Amino acid sequence: MEDRVVVTGMGVCAPNGIGLPEFERALQKGKSGIEFHSELEELKFSCQVAGKPNVDRIYLNKYFTKVQLKDLNATGVVYGVIAGTDAWEDAGLEQNMENPDWDSGVVFGTGILGVDKFREAIYQVDAGNVRRLGSTSVVQTMASGISAYLGGKLGCGNMVTTNSSACSTGTEAILMGYDRIKSKKATRMLVGSCSDSGPYVWGGFDAMRILPRNYNQNPKQASRPMSTTASGFVPGSGAGALVLESLESAKTRGAKIYAELLGGSVNSGGQRNGGSMTAPNSEAIVRCIQDAVAEAGIHPNQIDVINGHLTATSKDATEIDNWSKALKRSGADFPYINSFKGFFGHCLAAAGSIECVGALLQFRSKQIFGNLNCEDLHPEIEKKVDPSRIPQASLNIEPKIIAKASFGFGDVNTCLIFKSYTN
C-alpha cells in the first residue's frame, strides 16, 4: 500500500461542461461543446468554430479574491483555477489558511498563458501607459502563473511548478505528480493543465491550414476523429485537474478513490525517422506505450479501453497502427477505443488533463463513452480495428484498465495506465 498512487479528486472546465456532473452527462449523452464564433469570422479565420468553456455563468468570487478579479484577463488562469479548486474540494481537502501544507504540491501545466493580457500590456507600454498595467499583469502572463495561483490559494508547501510540452502537457503533469509521490517526496499532488482561448492562440493553427474549413455552418460535426471525412482538428480550450495521493494517505482519511494510477512513460522521437516538430516518430510512440505497460506491471491484453490522442487529422490512422503494434492486438481483439475531441475539439495544452478526467469518469459511470462524428470510419483504421471496438454511443460495459496517451508538437509523447481501484 505504501507505494501505490490513487486519484482522490477531479475537476474540469471544458467546452461541453464545467464541473464533473455536467461534463459526465455530456460524455454519456454525446453532447458537443463546439460552437461557431462570430469573432473568428470577423477576423477572417478559415475555421470559425471552436470549443470554449462558458464561464459567464460561473460565480468567480468562489475562486478568486476581489483583488485578483480586478483586471483579470487570462482565460487559462480562470479555467485552471476553477478546475484545480474543484478537484481539491472534490478530494475532501481544505484550503490551508494559516500554515503551508508541506506534504502537498502542484504541477499544473500550460502552453500559452495570458495571451490576451499580454496583448493588452503591449498596447499600454507602446502608448507610454506603463503605470496602467496593473499589479496582476505579471502573474497573469508568466507560465507558472497558474500553478502559483493554485499553490497560493490552497496553501501548498511542497513542489509548486508548471510544465509545458504542447499537447502532451496535461498527461506529462500527471506523470510528474505521480513520480513525486512514488518517490515519497510528497503525499498529495494537484496535477493538470490549462489552455487559453481565443484568436491569438488559435490563429497560428489556422494559418497552418490544419483546422477544418467546411463546417462553419455545422460546428457540431466539425471535429471528426477516426473519420474518413476528418479534415483537421477543431481548436479548443479549458482545464482539467486531478488530485493524486498516496494510497496510505487516502485510506487514512477515508477519501473516495476514482482510480489507481499504475504508472506511465514519457519520451521523445527526437524529430528523427519520420518525426518532426509537427509529426510523431511512430517508433517513439510504440516505445512509449510499451514502456508504460511495463511500468504498470500489466499485460497488454488486460487493457480494456484506450483513450487516444486522435485529433481528427491524417495521423489518426497512424496512431491506431502504432497502438496495434505496441499492444500486438488488432481486429476484434483490439481494446475499445475512444477520442473525446469530437465533443470539445483539441484543447491543446489542456487536452491531456481534460481527457484524463473524462477517461476516469468511465470507471465511476461503469460505461465506455462513445465517439462523435466517426460513423464513416477511416478505411485504414477499419483494416486494423473491428468497428465494434469504436463505439458510436456509450456502452454499459465496466472497464478495469484504461490507457491514456497524448502526443505533442516537438515529437513528445506520454502514456498513462489507470486501473479501477480495488483494495
The predicted structure's pLDDT at residue 139: 85
Tell me the average pLDDT across 124-151.
Answer: 87
**For residue 1, pLDDT beyond 80:** no
* Domain definitions of the chain by residue range: 5-252, 265-419
Burial class (CB in 10 A: 0-12, 13-18, 19+), 8: buried
d(CA 94, CA 151): 13
Is it the case that residue 217 has pLDDT exceeding 80? yes
Nearest residue to 360 (alpha-carbon basis) of 310, 421, 296? 421
| pLDDT over threshold 90, residue 131 | no
* Least trusted range by pLDDT, from 95-104, 152-161, 184-193, 290-299: 95-104
Residue 97: pLDDT above 70?
Answer: yes
Write down the pLDDT at residue 98.
Answer: 87
Mean pLDDT calculated for residue range 294-304: 98
Sign of CA dihedral 36, 193, 358, 252: negative
Look at residue 2 in the predicted model and tell me its pLDDT: 67
**Confidence class of residue 291 from pLDDT cuts 50, 70 and 90?**
very high
pLDDT 10s digits, 248-279: 999 999 999 999 999 999 999 999 999 999 99
Q: Is the pLDDT of residue 186 over 90?
A: yes
Q: Thinking of the domain 5-252, which architecture would CATH place it in? A: 3-Layer(aba) Sandwich (3.40)
User: For position 57, what pLDDT does the model report?
Assistant: 87
**Mean pLDDT value across residues 343-364:** 98
Of 363, 178, 406, the C-alpha closest to 259 is 363
Q: How many CA atoms lie within 13 A of 83 on its CB side?
A: 40
Interatomic CA distance for residues 28 and 23, integer angstroms: 9
For residue 130, the model assigns a pLDDT of 87
Mean residue pLDDT across the chain: 96
CA distance 319 to 325: 10
Across residues 149-174, what is the average pLDDT?
Answer: 97
CATH topology of 5-252 equal to that of 265-419?
A: yes
The per-residue pLDDT for 15 is: 98
How many Cα atoms occupy the beta-carbon half-sphere of 381 within 13 Å? 27
* Average pLDDT score over residue span 105-111: 97
Q: Which CATH superfamily is domain 265-419 in?
A: Thiolase/Chalcone synthase (3.40.47.10)
Per-position b or e across 202-215, b if 16+ CB within 10 A of its CB: beebbeeebbbeeb
Percent of the chain with pLDDT over 90: 88
pTM over 0.85: yes
